[in-house]
Amino acid sequence: MITKEIREQFPILGQEVNGKPLTYLDSAATSQKPISVIETLAHYYKNDNSNVHRGVHTLGTRATDGYEGSREKVRRFINASSTEEVIFVRGTTTAINTVASSYGRANIGEGDEIVITPMEHHSNIIPWQQLAKETGATLKYIPLQADGTISLSDVENTITAHTKIVSVMYVSNVLGTINPIKDITEIAHRNDAVMMVDGAQAAPHMKVDVQELDCDFFAFSAHKMCGPTGIGVLYGKKQLLDKMEPVEFGGEMIDFVGLYDSTWKELPWKFEGGTPIIAGAIGLGAAIDFLEQIGLDEIEKIEHELVEYAMERMSTIEGLTIFGPRNRAGLVTFNLDDVHPHDVATVLDTEGIAVRAGHHCAQPLMKWLDVTATARASFYLYNTKDDVDALIEGLKTTKEYFGHVF
Ligand code: PMP
């Protein structure tokens, strides 16, 4: 599909905002949804809506087939070895919290170490802070290099025989850094630690193969990859998940319930207490179909060309600072002179351009960058060079506006 055809699949992009054609550059926060996903959700609610796993009636069977069919699509998408390893959760945040609460509480104690990096999203910091406080474990950080990457020698020096869990983001939502997950996993395993990957900014944009990475846990959210909000995935290796306790108890996840004791269903359902996110999972399946139709390699190529073009054009704007390494995923985080990023985003909005401004749920990283906030333009498969050009014009307008006022 050429970009024009791809764009036509996203009805939301055809609108005007503040009298200008919408330029949507906030896909790292959440992506837009193609018509096939929107129609899959509508079709499900119009035709098949029912609870799963229980009913013997036809609608119940259709809903169950759709839900479990999506699990198989996810398994293929990340190349998990079995659908037992694919757990539907609310999103990346819930996936990481599940591992911290279940695996963490059972396997971490005083004197143990949890290793993360200062570039993590809050959802890959706070669960580990809480676990460390609860258990008396130590939270350690792999230091960042000046360009916002991590070096393997620093990884080697930080992970020790006391390390029990390493949790690192695959792609930074602020710097665009692509971390060497396979190598970090190898170092973690050499020290008998398990490796958790925050894949929220990776799964939508590049081919992920959990067996190739050899990570123990992998988390991602559907809403950043053309799917609905409220659904995401926790991948875990079967031998670890088998030994872990559920974190939510109730319907759907039980085998036998007595007055004083109960037993759990087998994987993956023991981690899916309550009525699951049925429509969401089916919508995620449709999103995977859509992404695979275009191809993850093609998506990566589109974004790479856009980010290269954006970096080149943005570097010609005087007073504009770009944060993060040269080689990066499809986003550019920046600040413009002394203008507060919220003001940058507000002026850009008057031009119909949507960018994010703030701390991007990465306050420790903001401190490391020595800024309170930044602006961020992020690209996805439906963006074009015209969007980058609109951003450049918008930034020039912003400069003129503030140059004029002050
Ligand atoms: N990790 C990263 C790198 C992210 O970018 C995000 C979303 N901004 C999250 C975790 C959290 O994802 P969610 O809010 O979907 O749980």
What fold, for 50-293?
Aspartate Aminotransferase; domain 2 (3.40.640)
Using the predicted structure, report yes or no on whether residue 207 has a pLDDT greater than 90: yes
Which residue in the block uniquely carries the two structure tokens 């396997």?
107
CA proximity to 397, closest of 358, 351, 357, 355: 351
State the catalytic residue, choosing from 311, 361, 371, 392.
361
Using the predicted structure, report yes or no on whether residue 214 has a pLDDT greater than 50: yes
398 lines ligand 1 (CB under 6 A): no
Domain 3-26+295-401 CATH assignment equals 3.30.565.10: no
Tell me which of 119, 361, 363, 380 to substitute to probe ligand 1's pocket, judged by most ligand atoms within 8 Å of the beta carbon. Answer: 361
169 lines ligand 1 (CB under 6 A): yes
201 lines ligand 1 (CB under 6 A): yes
Integer-rounded Cα radius of gyration of the chain: 22
Residue 263 CA, ligand 1 centroid: distance in Å: 33
The CATH 3.90.1150.10 domain(s) of the chain lie at 3-26+295-401
The conformation of residue 161, written as its DSSP 8-state character, comes to: T
- For residue 196, list its beta bridge partners: 167, 217
Going by DSSP bridges, is the β-strand pair 20-21/16-17 parallel, antiparallel, or unpaired? antiparallel
pTM of this structure: 0.98
Helix (H, G, I), strand (E, B), or coil: what is residue 85?
A: helix
Residue 167 CA, ligand 1 centroid: distance in Å: 14
* Residue 236: φ, ψ to 5°: -145, 150
Using the predicted structure, report yes or no on whether residue 80 has a pLDDT greater than 60: yes
Which ligand 1 atom is nearest residue 29's CA? 8
Which ligand 1 atom is nearest residue 120's CA? 3
pLDDT tens sequence across 282-322: 999 999 999 999 999 999 999 999 999 999 999 999 999 99
pLDDT tens sequence across 365-397: 999 999 999 999 999 999 999 999 999 999 999
The CATH 3.40.640.10 domain(s) of the chain lie at 50-293
Using the predicted structure, report yes or no on whether residue 229 has a pLDDT greater than 70: yes
Residue 361 catalytic? Answer: yes
221 lines ligand 1 (CB under 6 A): yes
CA proximity to 131, closest of 90, 172, 165: 165
Residue 192 CA, ligand 1 centroid: distance in Å: 27
Q: What percent of the chain has pLDDT over 90?
A: 96
- What is residue 118's predicted lDDT score, i.e. its pLDDT? 98
